[in-house]
Amino acid sequence: MSPAPLRVGLVGYGLAGSVFHAPLIATTDGLVLDTVVTSNPERQAQARAEYPDARLAGHPDELWKRAGELDLIVVASPNRTHVPLATAALEAGLAVVVDKPVAGTAAEAHALADLADERGLLLSVFQNRRWDNDFLTLRGLLERGELGDVWRFESRFERWRPSLKGGWRESGDPAEIGGLLYDLGSHLVDQALALFGPAVSVYGELDVRRPGAQVDDDAFVAVTHAGGVRSHLWMSATTAQLGPRFRVLGSAAGYVKHGLDPQEAALRDGARPAPGAVWGTEPEAEWGLLGAGDDVRPVPTLPGGYPAYYAAVAAALRDGTAPPVTAREAADALTVIEAAAVSAREGRTVTLTPKV
């Protein structure tokens, strides 16, 4: 007899909650979307239509009152709420998943991790881009040594959005933790650290390009890793001609990959992962190229795997194993992001001391 499914309360039903978290939770074996929290009437109606068996709540406090009926809280609300909501959930005795960035500072992330450790509770950060198809493919190439010694890792999340969209992500209020460095940079830095290890120095450039913009919309971060790899990371809303998603250069070969993982677009269009179904694949015409000089060949892109994140969360809750992404790892990424902001502001390279 299979155990009862773990009951999940989802806080927030904007882009993150409705496009990423709710569909992945609802299609993960062993999890059930118990409650969706949103005070927005339109989003309540959307959640009711998409998940008729889920309860609706207008405020997170309703979850803490029912803490004994729930097993996991997912925080997918605006950035400024991440720390207070995660703290309240942990204090209520509930395991927590927090969307990126988990906090505005590394110190806050470590404080949350300390609280989770004290309470013996799972705390994980949703870094879904570790399950992008191109990232999984690159990791496989690195594990097989097909690039030789990697010298430089170039990674881009670039868009052409010359007009502002508005909303808290573009707010100039520091409490909102907006801007691309914290938004797209959270993914880029996390991927770089996951692939190449801790950072020892960081250089950053932050620009506000669009008329009326209040926060960075064009940024560059250079990271030197303890192992010697240099990561060059671009994030931009003002790129009229997009560069490659990855360009990785090593002593034996390079790997160049264009285009974005298709999973977000599929989720936005209403597609849902299902056991045995095709998910996260792309056509051969979009495969990356591996090789050196004129001797290059297409490399099949592995299927993306966002469903693996919540499957690992469910396993960690049942078996007591480590979560798929820890708050300490998120804190390491925030250390780099904070250093990049200091570098951009002061015009210098920031030296970091990696943990022993």
- What's the CATH code of the domain at 72? 3.40.50.720
In a domain, 39, yes or no: yes
Q: What is the pLDDT of residue 173?
A: 86
- 102 and 213 in a common domain: no
- 165 and 291 in a common domain: yes
- 162 and 53 in a common domain: no
In a domain, 326, yes or no: no
Q: CB–CB of 206/144 below 8 Å?
A: no
- 204 and 174 in a common domain: yes
In a domain, 228, yes or no: yes
How many independent structural domains does the chain possess?
Answer: 2
Q: CB–CB of 308/135 below 8 Å?
A: no
In a domain, 192, yes or no: yes
Distances (CA, A) of 156 to 153, 163, 315: 10, 20, 32
Full-model pTM:
0.96
Chain mean position to CA 100: 5
Task: For strands 150-158 and 246-250, give the pairing.
Answer: antiparallel
Q: What is the pLDDT of residue 36?
A: 98
- 29 and 144 in a common domain: no
- 236 and 137 in a common domain: yes
Question: Could you tell me the CATH number of the domain that includes residue 218?
Answer: 3.30.360.10
Question: CA-to-CA distance for 343 and 337, rounded, in angstroms?
Answer: 10
User: Of 64, 93, 126, which residue is a domain's last?
Assistant: 126
In a domain, 310, yes or no: no
- 57 and 25 in a common domain: yes
In a domain, 221, yes or no: yes
Containing structural domain, residue 191: 129-304+335-351
- 185 and 72 in a common domain: no
- 113 and 161 in a common domain: no
- 98 and 27 in a common domain: yes
Largest CA distance in the chain: 64
In a domain, 135, yes or no: yes
- With b for 16 or more beta-carbon neighbours within 10 A and e for fewer, the 222-236 pattern comes to bbbbeeebbbbbbbb
Q: What is the pLDDT of residue 356?
A: 56
| Predicted confidence pLDDT, tens digits, the chain (356 residues) | 678 899 999 999 999 999 999 999 999 999 999 999 999 999 999 999 999 999 999 999 999 999 999 999 999 999 999 999 999 999 999 999 999 999 999 999 999 999 999 999 999 999 999 999 999 999 999 999 999 999 999 999 999 999 998 888 888 889 899 999 999 999 999 999 999 999 999 999 999 999 999 999 999 999 999 999 999 999 999 999 999 999 999 999 999 999 999 999 999 999 999 877 789 999 999 999 999 999 999 999 999 999 999 999 999 999 998 999 999 999 999 999 999 999 999 999 999 987 75
- 204 and 56 in a common domain: no
Q: What is the pLDDT of residue 1?
A: 61
User: Of 99, 126, 153, which residue is a domain's last?
Assistant: 126
- 158 and 79 in a common domain: no
In a domain, 317, yes or no: no
Nearest to 136 by CA among 322, 304, 340: 304
User: Of 69, 101, 126, which residue is a domain's last?
Assistant: 126
